[in-house]
Structure formats: C-alpha cells, structure tokens
Amino acid sequence: MMALLCSLWGRRSCRLPALSLINILLALPATAADHWIRLTTTHFEMYTTSDEKKAREAILHFERVRDFFLQASPVRPPGEFPVRIVAFKDPQVFHIYAPGAGILAYYAPGPVRDTIAMQDPSAESYPVTIHEYVHLVIRHSGLHIPLWLNEGWAQVYETLKPVRDGVAVGDLIPGHIALLGRAPWFSLDELGAVNNRSPDYHETSRSGMFYAESWALAHMLYLSPEYKNNFGKFISALNKGRSMDEAVQTAFGKTSAQVFLDMQTYLSRKKLYGTVFLTPFEKSGEAPVISQVTDYDANLMLADLNAASHHFAPASRSYQDLEAEDPKRPAAFESSGYLAVQMGDKDTARREFAKAFALGSTDPQLCVQLAALEREAGRPQDAIMAELDRAVKLRPDFSEALFVLGIMKVDARDFDAALAALNKVGAVAPESTVVFHSALAYANLQKGNLDAARRNAEASRAAARTPEDTQRAERLLRLIDARSKGPAAALPGERLVRAEGTAVGLRCVAPGSATLSKIGINVGGRQMLFDMPDQAAVEIARQPGSTAEMKCGVLQPFPVVVEYAPASVLDKESAGLIRRLEF
C-alpha cells in the first residue's frame, strides 16, 4: 500500500512521516474542499488554510524581514515578482507536498515564481522560514557558493530577532553547540566537498554534524571581529570558483588548517559574537489584501506546489483536469507550460505557452519564456518581439524582458528602440553583465553617443570572464576611438540609413589626405557615392563564403548592404558617411 501511495503522489523517493494509514488516506490530497484564503502584499502572496490573524501577522513579518535584507545584508532580496508562501494548517497535509520527512518548511524555486511552503504560520515557525528565505535571497543574488556556506549562513540568519536598537543576528543554537562538543568534526576540505547529492547532507548520522559545523564556520567568518571585515573578499573568491584553501588565503591570509583551529577555539568560548544591525525592524504600514480562493484557483495553486516540489505526475494530471474544466482560461495552460520547461520538454512548453498567449495571458514571465522558445525554434523576429513587447506592456519595469528585447532590437539594428529598452533595465544578472554593457556600448556608438559608448565598453571589459569577452570589448573600444576623430567623426544623435545595393568601385585617396575615399554603390538602379572613412572606423561584416574584395579601382560587382550617416555629408557629391558594410 505504501508503494502504491508513493506512486500516486509521483514522488522520486518516499520518506513519509509517522502517520497512521487512515490519516494519510484522509489527507490525500489537499484540495479546494479546504478553506483557502489568499493574502497579498507588495512582495509576497500567501495561500493558507490557517487562521486569518496569524496569516496576516506572518506575511507582514516576511515584509519586515525582506526590508531588513534590503538595508543590512550583503545579499539583496529579489524585487520584481512576489514570493509565494503556502501555509498549511494541518501538518499531515503539508507533509504530502514536502520533499521529505521531518521537514518544517522548504523553498522551491521555479521557472515562474519562488515558493516557500510551511506549516501553520505561527511565530514559532518564523526561524525556519527565514532560513528558507535566505536560500531564496542567495539564489537570486547570483552568487555561486558551496553548500556548507549556503546552509551555514541561512542558519546564522534564522536567529534574526528585533531588539531595541535594531535587529540582532547570531544567537547560539544549543543543539549545534552540544553536537560539536561530542561528535567528530569534518575537515574544511571534507566540509567543502559536501553537495546536494552527498549522503552526509541528508541521509546519514553525519548530516547533523554537517549543519552544525557549517553554522559554526559561517558564524565565525561572518560575525567575529577577526574575520568579518574580509568576509566579502572570501565570498568573492568562492564565487569566482576558488577552492576553500585559496579563498581563505586570499581573504584572510591564512591556510585552511589555521582557520579550522580558529573555529575550534571560537567554539570553545561557549559565547559567540552576535551582531546588532542598526536597522529599524518596524511594523509594515501595509495592510494585506485578503480574498477568498475559488476551487479552480486552489487546485491550480496546489498543482503548482506539486510542480515546484518536483512531484511532476500529479501536477501534470491536475493541469490537464483544469484545462478541461475551463478551456478559455489561460492559467492552467501557463502552468502546464512551465512544468514542461522543468521537465525539458520544449515542444510541449511552446504549445502550452502559445495557447495561453492566444487566450490573452497577462503573465509577463510567460511572454519572455515563449519568446525564448520561439527564438530557439527559428520563429520570425517580429513575432518574438511582439511577445516581448507584451511582457513590457504588462510590466514596464520587467528587467529580463527589457534586457532581451533590447538585445533583439540591437540585432534588428533599431538602435533607438534598443536604447529605450536597455536604459530601463534595473539589476542585471552577473552572467549577463558583459552582454548588457556591450549591447549598450554598441547601440550608443551607432547613435554617435561616443562618451556613453566608451563607458559601457569599458564596463564590459571590466566584467569580462573569458579572453574572448576581453577581446570583443577591446575591438569595440578601438572602433569607438576610430569614430571619435578625423573628418568622419560621429556626431551625437547620429541617424543611420540602411540600404541594399551593388558595389561597383572604390576611389582611394592618399593616407593623410584632407578628403575621403569614395565608394560607388548602385542602389535601386541609381549610382550613389559615399564617403569611405579610414578602415578602422568602418564596421565590416563579411558573410560566410563571401569572396568579394574591397580594393581601389573598379570592383568586380558584388551585393552589399550599407549603413551610412546622411547628416554627416562632407560634400555635395557624397550621399553620406559609411559606418557599416555587409557583403
């Protein structure tokens, strides 16, 4: 019977709490028959079957915690979309959705939203939910840190509590202190080697020691006077892929063995350093909006929770039922598409998203996901940009949509639209920084905004992670420099015209001449002459397989696309200044 229940729930492993079979059957599954309410604030939405008063206090507590992280933490909380909290009144029902036994709360990142699931939203559950919120914040920070630090730092923060002068962080965790006093310790190399698949993380008797030692090390490095001032350097080194030994040497000038001994001495004091952050932990003036939840929405939310918890089979069945129940409502198609993304089924994701889009989906994230899938499938650029445009109309400050739309507008050589989108982008993910600044630099260059172009190109070079990144930034800087001097210098606000034609001749002048070379191009049956600046100032895009040669004199005719600046004409004979040639 147990195996049958596991199969019904679609669990990859089955570790259930000690419940009687009749209680399990009565609890399977939580449905719309439970009385669900929904509370929303600026940064959170909570679904709960619990008491409305406790739920109101809990969601406002999350707002206060978020505000603390925004002001006092080196890692910042996400801000674009609300975090979903699902709070169950019945712990037995909670454990049906939890990824394992013995769990009081868990964080489930997803392609559409972040979810924190918890038992009854009472004050006693706040520490463990703060722990899960820290995981969420670290994930969105873009930091790549080892598991021990992710868990240890979260445990340090779960002791967060308001005091008279601000917020105190760093209280002792008595169970950890006791365990560290009697169990054998991991070496720092062993601690750093533990990952999500390691038995020592969640299956053996050593998992308790892993958590305890992770907490102790994070506590010392983050809060102790000897270490805290260089903690940021330590995080930066780990984020760049340095080993534990390299990171502690870079940040603290010590070996791993010395840090290990310091940690043992630190713990032997039995009195650790807490910190009071002088950050007000004031009650939010916001009043949560409270609404009743329909059967459809309750079942959709629970299906989303199953999907976020990687219980894919029951989630898929629920979405199919909801699509059949109301085929004109986009919500189930949206969620089914996100589930397909999680499962790596891109074709199904495209179909489900396209249905939701056609039904008038108001989810801006879906529009971005659909645009990415359509682009990968080779759909026309106009259709893809229409999806991104809808995302931006639905959420004008949606940085991801603005970023992707801006990049596509650069590719489409619509530089006014590209700058309009890119200049509205807020936070940029670390892995996208190089591309972001390169795109801004290039678009500003094409508009003649050379100072801005140079600043962005230098920012791209500074953020480079590979030699190729550096080389691209330096090529761009050379092009900017070449266009900033001489008779063909770009002017602020320069407007480029694009035309197709056939190159027929190149009239060259001697180096250092006061005049410019001229290129003859037949455009629409009309012979036109263009000023040809120094080659370093002209962008040449040679197509694969092209055999065309650009040399002085009569040319063997070849097709060419030309971009030129008509406002920079130097004499009546010329139609404009060449900025780019494609052939």
Mean pLDDT over 233-256 rounds to 93
Domains in the chain (CATH in brackets) are 1-165+287-293 (no CATH), 172-273 (no CATH), 497-582 (2.40.50)
Q: What does residue 497 show for φ and ψ, rounded to 5 degrees?
A: -115, 140
Q: What's the pLDDT at 270?
A: 64
- The pLDDT tens digits for 380-424 are 999 999 999 999 999 999 999 999 999 999 999 999 999 999 999
Tell me how far apart the alpha carbons of residues 530 and 578 are, in angstroms, rounded to a whole number: 6
Average pLDDT over residues 50-61: 93
* 218: pLDDT strictly greater than 90: yes
pLDDT over 60 at 13, yes or no: no
Q: Characterize 441-468 residue by residue with b for buried, 16 or more Cβ atoms within 10 angstroms of its Cβ, and e for exposed.
A: bbbbbbbbbbebbbebbbbbbebbeeee
Cis peptide leading into residue 29 (ω within 30°): yes
In the predicted structure, residue 567 carries a pLDDT above the cut 80: no
Strand partners, 527: 522
Q: What is the pLDDT of residue 212?
A: 95
Q: Mean pLDDT highest for which of 71-75, 136-140, 183-187, 435-439?
A: 435-439
DSSP alpha helix (H) spans, 513-568: none
Q: What is the pLDDT of residues 258-286, one digit of tens each?
A: 999 999 999 887 667 788 887 777 766 67
d(CA 207, CA 215) in angstroms, rounded, equals: 12
153-174 pLDDT, tens digit per residue, is: 999 999 998 888 788 899 989 9
Give 25's pLDDT tier (boundaries 50, 70, 90). very low
Rounded Cα distance between 464 and 475, Å, is: 13
Q: Are 85 and 288 contacting, i.e. CB atoms less than 8 angstroms apart?
A: no
**The pLDDT of residue 570 is above 70:** no
Q: What is the mean pLDDT of residues 467-494?
A: 93
What is the rounded average pLDDT of the residues 43-59? 94
Alpha helices in 91-243 (DSSP H): 91-97, 126-141, 147-157, 174-182, 188-193, 199-202, 207-223, 231-239
Beta strands in 55-173 (DSSP E): 83-87, 105-108, 115-118, 161-163, 166-169
**In the chain, % of residues over pLDDT 70:** 92
pLDDT score for 34: 77
- What pLDDT, on the 0 to 100 scale, is given for residue 184? 92
Indicate the burial class of 364 (C-beta count within 10 angstroms; 0-12, 13-18, 19 or more). Answer: buried
Q: pLDDT value at position 74?
A: 82
The tens digit of pLDDT for each residue in 86-132 reads 999 998 899 888 887 778 899 998 877 899 999 889 889 999 999 99
State yes or no: pLDDT of 522 exceeds 60: yes
Radius of gyration of the chain (CA): 30
Q: How much is the average pLDDT of 308-331?
A: 95
pLDDT at 571: 60
288-314 mean pLDDT: 94
Give the pLDDT confidence of 72-86 residue by residue, as tens digits.
Answer: 888 878 777 899 999
Q: In whole numbers, what is the pLDDT of the chain averaged over residues? A: 88
In this prediction, residue 3 has a pLDDT band, given cuts at 50, 70 and 90, of very low
